[in-house]
Amino acid sequence: MVGAGLCLTFVVCFAGFGYVAWTWEQPGRALLAAVFAAGTIGGLLVWSLPTERIIRSRWREPFFLAWSLLDLALVASLVAIDGTIESPLALVFFVPVVFAAMSYPVPSVIVVGVLTVAVYLVLAVAEGDGVGPRVFFFSFALACTAVMSAWQARNHDRQRCELSRVSRADPLTKCLNRRGLRERADAELAHSLRHGMPFSVLVLDLDNFKQVNDSRGHSTGDAVLCRVVDCLGEVVRPSDAVGRLGGDEFAVLLPETSETEAAAVAARVTDALAADAPCSIGVASFPLDGNDLDSLLREADTRLYASRNGRGGRAVAHGERLSWATALAEAVDMRMDTSHEHSRAVAGYAVTIAAELDWDDEALGLLHLAGMLHDVGKVAVPDGILRKPGPLTEVEFDEVRRHSTIGAGLVARVEGLDPIVPWIRHSHEHFDGTGYPSGLRGEDIPLAARILLVADAFDAMTSDRPYRDALSHEEALRELEAHAGGQFDPRCVELLVGHVRAGAVRSG
């Protein structure tokens, strides 16, 4: 449309130069030529703009509307310079209206149409003859063109909506196709990440469907696929989404559904389809099995075929947990507007302290996970608070205080991570009872949570933050020692201080 509009501009200006040359003996020709030249230069300027970027941005509609209004102003100038409302240049008033009908949304078309008629009438009144028969019929023709343009724009909007719907729907079963399923999954995963909610995916594959097609014909097979989608629609919730991945394979998106709840849904689906279309089902859940649709579908497929071959689901290994914990931690660190891997550093310092306390390997592995995930609840804290360069207000700090509880709630939904839930929930409790969320004191605070607080504070002090520059290691260690017994567990401070200073001595 930009290219078409520019070509139209250049053609009109070229014709305008011809009109000027043809009527050169009349007054104001030089000024008319200057206006046509300005229109040509304006077209060249638009040509030089990064139109692809503009069209894909939120400034698209203002850009096109401003372009039409500028064209309208140029046409009005041409008619006024030519000296009479009966000038043939007045016919150019139709051009912005028709151009708007080609791609503008209905509101913009209405604006352009109304303003075009209004500008023409203002010029007629300003000329002093009032609204005579010619002005009336010309403005009437303009108004009719504007109405038809708005009607055509409305038809375009409807066609675009229908094309959008068709492009996201499976033509046979009318459920979502792969494209529609991916767009819906991306939106749901973003919501789950922001609000700390679970998200699950079912993948189901019909058993022996090829035999149905071979023995009873493809029309019967198509009918079976449609019945499967109808049945799934009755079993799942209205907020869930059913999509066809291809052939006889389907997926169901289950927002705000944990792995245990998804397994219950899978059982209901299996029972509902058992008579007409027996199937095998695999289940995968965010964040345990992946943080995007592709990884969730792969894991669900793996479990589907394991189930079909008589093998149960697999246990979640520590390394696998760590992979998604790392992904979540990186997402949180990026939201805090820092290139420093804070979560990874906290996990490392925490494991260092616990190793000095002779924790076994399994406990150290869980503590490492807790360190990676200690700030995961900050996905629910607005960016404006996380990145604020100045002090927080009391209301903003209350918002931040929620993150340890939210993070614990998110981790609690992951099977196998129950031990670290209280560690994350209480990772901001102070040794003297002044912390949050429960105001626990001393030994009532889980030891792992006390370790995490010291590790978190040390790394926070030694890294740049929006509101201050990083402290040196020695300055941060002195701060920890100054608040040992108050904010921090003295034993944990002693172990971390000893380790860091011993490392400094060795490196020196």
Domain ranges of the chain: 2-167, 178-314, 320-507
Rounded to whole angstroms, how far apart are CA atoms 235 and 272?
8
Of 300, 320, 330, 288, nearest to 192 by C-alpha is 288
Number of residues written out for the chain: 508
Instruction: Quote the pLDDT of residue 446.
Output: 93
Residues 62-72 have a mean pLDDT of 87
Contact between 228 and 278 under an 8 Å Cβ cutoff? The reply is no
Instruction: Report pLDDT for 324.
Output: 56
Q: Are the C-beta atoms of residues 81 and 130 closer than 8 Å to each other?
A: no
d(CA 368, CA 305): 32
301-337, pLDDT tens digit by residue? 888 877 765 544 443 444 445 455 656 666 666 666 5
| Residue spans of alpha helices (H) in 23-132 | 29-48, 51-55, 60-82, 94-103, 106-127
- The four Cα atoms 135, 21, 100, 86 give a dihedral, to 10 degrees, of 0
pLDDT at 314: 42
The number of beta carbons lying within 10 Å of the beta carbon of residue 356 is 16
Q: What are phi and psi of 280, to 5 degrees?
A: -110, 145
Predicted confidence (pLDDT) at residue 250 exceeds the cutoff of 50: yes
Distance CA 91, CA 133 (A): 16
Per-residue confidence band for 468, with pLDDT thresholds at 50, 70 and 90:
low
Question: pLDDT value at position 508?
Answer: 41
Q: Supply the pLDDT for residue 308.
A: 66
**Res 507 pLDDT > 70:** no
Helix (H), strand (E) at residue 202: strand 199-206
pLDDT tens-digit series, residues 200-231: 999 998 888 888 877 788 888 889 899 999 99
More confident residue, 106 or 160: 106
* Interior angle at CA 349, CA 348 and CA 350, nearest 5: 90
Average pLDDT over residues 382-397: 77
Taking a C-beta distance cutoff of 8 angstroms, is the pair 113, 73 a contact? no
Per DSSP, 444 falls in state: G
Residue 378 dihedral angles phi and psi, to the nearest 5°: -70, -5
Residue 505's pLDDT is: 38
Measured in degrees and rounded to the nearest 5, phi and psi for residue 433 equal 90, 10
pLDDT in tens, 182-198: 888 888 888 877 776 78
Task: Look at residue 48 and tell me whether its pLDDT is greater than 50.
Answer: yes
Closest Cα to residue 188, out of 93, 255, 266? 255
Tell me what the mean pLDDT of segment 399-418 comes to: 80
From the centroid of its chain, how far is CA 27? 59
Q: Are 419 and 425 in contact (CB under 8 A)?
A: no
CATH number for region 320-507: 1.10.3210.10
For the domain bounded by 178-314, which CATH number is listed?
A: 3.30.70.270
Taking only the tens place, the pLDDT of each residue in 151-179 is: 988 888 888 777 767 678 888 888 888 88
Query: In angstroms, rounded to a whole number, what is the distance separating the alpha carbons of residues 455 and 223?
Result: 61
More confident residue, 322 or 132: 132
Distances (CA, A) of 434 to 177, 430, 445, 461, 486: 53, 5, 12, 20, 9
CA nearest neighbour of 260 among 198, 351, 173? 198
Element (H, E) at 4: helix 2-22
Q: Taking 70 as the threshold, does the pLDDT of residue 488 lie above it? A: yes
Which band of pLDDT confidence, cut at 50, 70 and 90, is reported for residue 433? very high
At residue 444 the predicted structure's pLDDT band, cuts being 50, 70 and 90, is very high
Q: What is the mean pLDDT of residues 245-272?
A: 88
Which pairs with CB-CB distance under 8 Å and at least 24 residues apart come from 69-73? Answer: 69/112, 69/115, 70/42, 71/9, 71/39, 71/95, 71/96, 71/99, 72/96, 72/112, 72/115, 72/116, 72/119
More confident residue, 340 or 163: 163
How far is it, in rounded angstroms, from Cα 508 to Cα 418? 42
Coil/strand/helix, residue 6: helix
Using the predicted structure, report yes or no on whether residue 406 has a pLDDT greater than 60.
yes
* pLDDT for the residue numbered 298: 84
* DSSP H helix total and E strand total for the chain: 22, 4
At 312 the pLDDT is: 45
Q: With bands split at pLDDT 50, 70 and 90, how would you rate the model's confidence at 403?
A: confident
> Over 60: is that where the pLDDT of 356 sits?
yes
Of the candidates 308, 307, 290, 291, which has an alpha carbon nearest to the alpha carbon of residue 299?
A: 290
pLDDT category at 103 given cuts 50, 70, 90 is confident
| Average of per-residue pLDDT across 57-70 | 85
For the chain, give the mean pLDDT: 83
Average pLDDT on 335-344 reads 65
Among residues 435, 384, 383, 431, the alpha carbon closest in space to that of 405 is found at 435
Cα–Cα distance between 408 and 420 in angstroms, integer?
Answer: 8
256: left (phi over 0), alpha (psi -120 to 50) or beta: left
Q: What is the pLDDT of residue 441?
A: 92
Tokens describing residue 353: 């302290």
Query: 443, exposed or middle or buried, with CB in 10 Å at 0-12, 13-18, 19+?
Result: exposed
| Cβ-contact 429, 445 below 8 angstroms | yes
Same topology between domain 178-314 and domain 320-507: no
- β-strands 279-286, 249-255: how paired? unpaired
SS3 string of 138-153? HHHHHHHHHHHHHHHH
